[in-house]
Structure 1
Amino acid sequence: MANITFKGNAVTLLGSEVKVGDTAPNFTVLANDLSEVTLDDSKGSVRLISVVPSIDTGVCDAQTRKFNEAAAGLDNVKVLTVSVDLPFAQKRWCGANGIENVQTLSDHRDLSFGEAYGVHIQELRLLARAVFVVDSNDKVTYVEYVSEATDHPNYDGAIDAAKNAN
């Protein structure tokens, strides 16, 4: 498993670590209208999955804005942002910040995504910061578990991987 810290303190990640070349695990999360969303719902598209601890914090805000901006120029790429924030909070934040190119998804109910992708922080019941790119055939083509959860991910690496995935 990836070694992750949160504000300099080691944390325990639960679930299975995902690696490049793996078949992307399915998951069930909630959209802002409380409907269930799975990986299969976007089958046939490239998925850039941005994982944030809480959308209402500085780095998570910046990460979501950066991928929202990039999404406007990505063909056949769906950008999903997953956190354990409540769907209502995600909807409010997106509306207040003009986020229209990213779909925010909540894993608060049962941590299905967190467990499937190995990003569930046991001590905090949050998700570790990570980015995954999944191609249209459900193969993982890019993985970044950010070693310090309060640091930014490699935006350019993730965006380039999404552009190059089929």
Structure 2
Amino acid sequence: MNTIQFQQQSIPVLGAFLKKGDKARKFELLTDNLSPITNDNFMGKNVILNIFLSIDTQLCANSVREFNRLVARVPNTEVLCISIDTPFAMVRFCEMEGLDYVTTASCFRSPSFQFDYGVQLSDSILEGFTARAVVCLNTVGVVVHSELAHDLAAPIDYQKAIQCFK
């Protein structure tokens, strides 16, 4: 089990976080119109899973903005921004910000996603939320890069994630 830091406290993170060479686990999340989105939607494309707590936190919102900016120049690559937020909150944010190069998905109906991807926060005030992480999958769904933020106040290395597919 991994742990991460938040305000100088350790928070357990449940599940096994995916590492380079692992095959992506199956998932079914919800899009902005409440329709399902799965791994199968991305077969044949590179995909960056940008996993975060909530679009309503500054650092998480910045991650969506930054990936939107960076992925616009990377062919055959999509960014799927995943949180426990409602799909409506995420689409509202993207529309207000003019973000067209990322796709949002909610795991609020899929609690198994958090555990299956090793990002389920536990035993803290943030229990039920997802840890901040990035998982980069190649065109056949194999992990080529992953990073679990060891401190919720620290940003993910966006450049390292994007470089996987340049």
Confirm or deny: 8 A CA contact 2:2 2:12 kept in the other structure: no
Rate the CA distance shift 1:8–1:162 in 2: closer, same or farther, 3 A. Answer: farther
Q: Give the distance between the partners of 1:5 and 1:62, measured in 2 at CA.
A: 19
**CA-CA distance at 1:59 after TM superposition:** 0.5
Does 2:50 match 1:50? Answer: yes
**CA-CA distance at 1:150 after TM superposition:** 1.9
Query: Structure 2 regions of 5+ residues with no counterpart?
Result: none
CA RMSD of aligned residues (A): 1.1
For the residue of structure 2 that corresponds to 1:41, the secondary structure is: helix
Bigger shift: residues 144-153 or 154-163: 154-163
**CA-CA distance at 1:33 after TM superposition:** 0.4
Query: Structure 1 regions of 5+ residues with no counterpart?
Result: none
Q: Give the distance between the partners of 1:146 and 1:138, measured in 2 at CA.
A: 22
**Of 146, 152, 155, the match for 1:152:** 155
For the residue of structure 2 that corresponds to 1:115, the secondary structure is: helix
Give the structure-2-normalised TM-score: 0.94
**CA-CA distance at 1:137 after TM superposition:** 1.1
Confirm or deny: 8 A CA contact 1:29 1:112 kept in the other structure: no
**Of 129, 141, 146, the match for 2:144:** 141
Give the structure-1-normalised TM-score: 0.94
Bigger shift: residues 79-88 or 121-130: 121-130
For the residue of structure 1 that corresponds to 2:48, the secondary structure is: strand
Q: Give the distance between the partners of 1:81 and 1:34, measured in 2 at CA.
A: 15
Confirm or deny: 8 A CA contact 1:2 1:145 kept in the other structure: no
Confirm or deny: 8 A CA contact 2:14 2:115 kept in the other structure: yes
Q: Give the distance between the partners of 2:48 and 2:94, measured in 1 at CA.
A: 18
Confirm or deny: 8 A CA contact 1:24 1:140 kept in the other structure: yes
Paired positions, count: 163
For the residue of structure 1 that corresponds to 2:136, the secondary structure is: strand
Residue by residue over 1:73-96, the C-alpha shift from the partner in whole angstroms, topping out at 9 and shown as x without a partner, is: 010001110000001111111111
For the residue of structure 2 that corresponds to 1:74, the secondary structure is: coil
Bigger shift: residues 103-112 or 131-140: 103-112
Please list, as runs of the form range in 1=range in 2, the aligned pairs for 1:79-94 lying within 5 A after superposition.
79-94=79-94
Aligned structure 1 segments of 4 or more residues deviating by more than 6 angstroms: none
Confirm or deny: 8 A CA contact 2:25 2:117 kept in the other structure: yes
